[in-house]
Amino acid sequence: MTIHELLDYGDFYCLSFIEKNILLHAVKYMLNHIQMSTKKNEKQDPGFEAVESALSRTEQYIEENKKSLSIIIAAIIVVVGGYLLYSRVIMSPKEQEAQTQIFRAEQYFEVDSFLLALEGDGDSWGFIDIIDDYGMTNTANLAQYYAGVCYLRLGEFENAIEHLKKFDSNDKLVSVIALGALGDAYVELGETEKAVSFFEKAGNKNKNDFTSAIYLKKAGLAHEALGNYKKAILTYEKIKQLYPNAEEARDIDKYIQAAKMKM
């Protein structure tokens, strides 16, 4: 594989987002290496002569350092090519397998059969199997979320936290719910201060009338449990001001007044 083949127009635009970034960063590294080497101890002069001089110095540097540049290019090709090979030949088929295997577990999850969803039914896999066998895939990452919620619903709060913390996603809804679920788990364990932190993160992430109001209200209740009534009031008022159309805002005045009375 040559650098020209890696940058072939058709092939490049077939790459995934991650693959493109790796390739582009590698090429940028090589170009920056050349530019930095040719600009050492030299002043920037404006105009055509400066540009022409810079081009000449670059050509001279390339000519004088063919061997080292060849090594750099070869290393880039090996790293990028190896990653692409691993991604296309190994990871892509495993991702497809994992998506097939997780289907039944998701069905059990949807009907609240959390133990079957976690451990499988003997014929189909559970989320734990997906995590163990397809650990580096996106599907296994999603299984971490499912497993965390399953353990939460089964009352195994430490296991829930373990899996939810391993989950990482940019999905606007699921990422928020995962943070809120961590807060719920910490409440059940009596670690209310940690719970507040996760409820506030969930309430302030991807702001909307639905999830934001739900988790801010939970944060307010947690503040009250800790005796932080002023913070609870501020949190409730935030719901009232920012999310007046949310379900939680309908009776939020009652919570504000109750917290004021407790103060």
Confidence of residue 255 (pLDDT cuts 50, 70, 90): very high
Domain-located, residue 15: no
Residue 46 has pLDDT above 90, yes or no: no
Domain-located, residue 159: no
Domain-located, residue 209: yes
Q: What is the 3-state secondary structure (H, E, C) of the chain?
A: CCHHHHCCHHHHCCCCHHHHHHHHHHHHHHHHHHHHHHHCCCCCCCCHHHHHHHHHHHHHHHHHCHHHHHHHHHHHHHHHHHHHHHHHHHHHHHHHHHHHHHHHHHHHHHCCCHHHHHHCCCCCCCHHHHHHHCCCCHHHHHHHHHHHHHHHHCCCHHHHHHHHHHCCCCCCCHHHHHHHHHHHHHHHCCCHHHHHHHHHHHHHCCCCCCHHHHHHHHHHHHHHHCCCHHHHHHHHHHHHHHCCCCHHHCCHHHHHHHHHHHC
pTM: 0.68
Domain-located, residue 162: no
Domain-located, residue 181: yes
In the chain, the number of structural domains is 1
**Average pLDDT of the chain to the nearest whole number:** 82
Confidence of residue 93 (pLDDT cuts 50, 70, 90): confident
Tell me which residue range forms the domain holding 206.
169-263
Query: Which tens digit of pLDDT belongs to each residue from 112-165?
Result: 999 999 999 999 999 999 999 998 899 999 999 999 999 999 999 999 999 999
Instruction: Look up the CATH number of the domain holding residue 260.
Output: 1.25.40.10
Domain-located, residue 153: no
